[in-house]
Amino acid sequence: MKLLIKNGRVIDPGCKQDEVMDLLVENGRIVKKETQIKECEKELNVIDAKGCFVMPGFIDLHVHLREPGLEHKETIATGARAAARGGFTTICAMPNTKPVIDNVDRLRFVLNKSEQVAAVHVCQVGAVTVSQMGEELADIEGMVKAGAVAISEDGKSVMNVRLYEEAMSLAQTLDIPVLAHCEDKNLVGAGVLNKGKKSEELRVDGISNLVEDIIVARDIMLAKETKVKLHLCHCSTKDSVLMVEEAKKKGILVTAEVCPHHFSLTEDDIVEGDTNYKMNPPLRTKEDVEALKLGLKNNIMDVIATDHAPHHKSEKALSMKDAPFGIVGLETAAALTITELVEKGYLTPMQMAEKLSFNPAKVIGLDKGTLEVGKTADITILNPDREWTVDTEEFASLGKNTPFAGKKLRGQIMATIVDGEVVYRHK
């Protein structure tokens, strides 16, 4: 059946179009985009998107699906449902599962399982090294031939510079990006929260900005040397923004992402004993947060990604020192972007579409992120004015670990469409 989306504000960063229009979808593709499409509505599935943004389906470059091996935290099926509920039509799964996705068989397991159970498109990122131990390269070429869209050692940095340079050179030859988690493990120690007044107040070890900044600088220099496409994950410091800006001025192929929690919260928001405020990188200072927002506003930072990191409630019930790092983010990302960035004038709706869809597609080389006629009908419909309160009991994710529980946000996902099929519709 055909799908007609009527009366929506179509925001298409692929052609810089922003106007009220209709979209007609047939056989999984956009076949018409014009004002007041005339079709026999008896033969159509019609969605009236009046008052809503109609954007290319969101693409999340940074998701932890936990399967295989950690299904008590999340599964491919539940993570994909959470993505659909959050407006994401494509997600990139990080490789730090158990076992690690470091060879072709494990990669194919995720891709094949995703085809069977996932409501959205799932791309798999391959590990840089075997078992993410940092000692020998994984089968990068084999994984890329089998469908890996990138490589990453997410959860840690490859500390062996010579080995990482070899991996980057191979990634450059294979024309895939390296997604870099920038953290000097020799500096982080037993750090729990940002090194500052809050870590002192709560009497826990701190994680300084230098932990991130020193590896950002190193990886940019390696990217300059190898000419690889480097994508910096979950940037959290003001100096990361400065270094990305300088690298781009010098023509280095670097892109960077910011997570919603890092542009929405500071260390001052941390509630004692609530481990949902524990993530890596940690929540930083107001100065860092403002730099991240301005970096997004000025198009220095290219992408908004969630770093969706579900954990079982028993794990997050441990002490601040012992609980695992990470929060869920797929189901709150769009609303936090509207609430903290669009409503406050940091981003235009067009920039929001760029950072949640068009730019992520470019980073991993997907022919997505636009609503042009002929393109795959991956579409997100968002009501920017509707308010809602975050209720973790309504989450599709198995993970309920979010510091935004009970928070009132603006921006409600009304429908998510994948390959022309409605996979989520707000009730």
The binding site for Zn(2+) comprises 62, 64, 154, 181, 234, 307
* Best CA proximity match to 122, nearest among 134, 109, 131: 109
Residue among 269, 307, 322, 385 flagged as catalytic: 307
Distance, CA of 110 to CA of 70 (rounded, Å): 13
CB 255 within 8 A of CB 232: yes
Residue 25 CB partners (closer than 8 Å, separation 6+): 2, 3, 4, 5, 31, 377, 379, 417, 420
CB 18 within 8 A of CB 349: yes
Amino acid identity of residue 83, one-letter, is: A
* Best CA proximity match to 62, nearest among 29, 88, 35: 88
Pairing of strands 53-56, 2-12: parallel
Task: Point out the annotated binding site for substrate.
Answer: 64-66, 96, 280, 311, 325-326
- Which tokens sit at 271? 């509630």
CB 287 within 8 A of CB 425: no
User: Residue 154: CA atoms inside 13 Å, Cβ hemisphere, count?
Assistant: 32
> Three-class SS of residue 129?
strand
> Three-class SS of residue 5?
strand
Residue 92: left (phi > 0), alpha (psi -120 to 50), or beta? beta
Answer yes or no: 22 catalytic.
Answer: no
Distance, CA of 417 to CA of 28 (rounded, Å): 10
Task: Point out the annotated binding site.
Answer: 62, 64-66, 96, 154, 181, 234, 280, 307, 311, 325-326
Residue positions annotated with a catalytic role: 307
